[in-house]
Amino acid sequence: MTAPAGALFNAGWYRFARRLDSPNFGPRPAGACIDLLVVHSISLPPGRYGGDEVQRLFTNTLNWDAHPYFQGIRGLEVSSHFYIRRDGTLWQFVSCDARAWHAGASQWRGRGNCNDDSIGIELEGLEGDAFEDAQYDTLASLSAALQQQYPVRHIAGHEHIAPGRKRDPGPGFDWPRLARSLGLADTALPS
């Protein structure tokens, strides 16, 4: 099936993202209502920006012996739908129509297993660090596009859907700024 010319998405792939297929995904449950965006932060090793380690992690090609930190995550098979670099460059690893592996044990808006019916967006960053203007710009345009394509009604951080276990994107992320850029009330997002 071919998407119409100018379509934002083709089989769940966003036209303005660089595509790099991850093997880490599966089908969503039948009838899944994709109504949640989950914002994350990641950098490998933590706090070091600009390399290709995150892309390698999500495609199972990371050299686990390249850094001591990687020993602790050796063999990890994870993915997110999207990854936004510090310069705002956008990558996509899994079709939004498929289930990526970013949330783990999680619960939000009264439902568990958030991987089933959410879209995961990783920002290159570190919990506690601020994020770049270019990242907010890309996140806003991506979120607006996703809102057009999917019945998105909720946006939350990994820290909110897995409290006590996860802390990303952390206090350096400006939720009111994201809300303003999407025309949402601050109360539509976690604070």
Q: Amino acid identity, residue 21?
A: D
Q: Is 154 helix (H, G, I), strand (E, B) or coil?
A: strand
Q: Which stretch binds Zn ion (CB under 5 A): 61-69, 110-118, 150-158, 172-180?
A: 150-158
Q: How far apart are CA 82 and CA 72, in angstroms?
A: 23
- Cα 148–chain centre separation: 17
Smallest distance, Zn ion to C-beta of residue 71, A: 20
Per CB under 5 A, does 85 bind Zn ion? no
Give the nearer residue to Zn ion in terms of CB position, either 99 or 158. 158
Of 26, 15, 23, 175, give the one whose Cα is nearest residue 115: 26
Query: What DSSP letter does each residue of 42-111 carry, written as one string?
Result: E-SSTT--SSSHHHHHHTT---GGGSHHHHTTTT-----SEEE-TT--EEE-S-TTEEES---S-EETTE
Applying the rule CB under 5 A, the residues between 38 and 67 that interact with Zn ion are 40
Is residue 168 close enough to count as binding Zn ion by CB under 5 A?
yes
Q: Which residue in 53, 77, 122, 124 is the catalytic one?
A: 122
Stretch that binds Zn ion, among 8-16, 83-91, 166-174, 176-184 (CB under 5 A): 166-174
Known catalytic residue at 127: no
- Shortest gap between Cβ of 168 and Zn ion (angstroms)? 4
The distance of closest approach from Cβ of residue 121 to Zn ion in the complex, given in angstroms and rounded to an integer, is 10
Give me the torsion for CA of 145, 52, 155, 98, rounded to 10°: 70
Please identify, among the stretches 3-11, 131-139, 153-161, 180-188, the one whose residues bind Zn ion according to the rule CB under 5 A: 153-161
Q: Which of 158, 160, 161, 189 binds Zn ion (CB under 5 A)?
A: 158
- To Zn ion, the closest distance from the beta carbon of 167 in angstroms equals 9
Nearer to Zn ion, 9 or 101 (CB): 101
- Whether the CB-CB separation of 56 and 95 falls below 8 Å is answered with no
Q: Which tokens is 39 given? A: 């914002």
What is the size of the binding site for Zn ion (CB under 5 A)? 3
The catalytic residue positions are 122
Binding site for Zn ion (CB under 5 A): 40, 158, 168
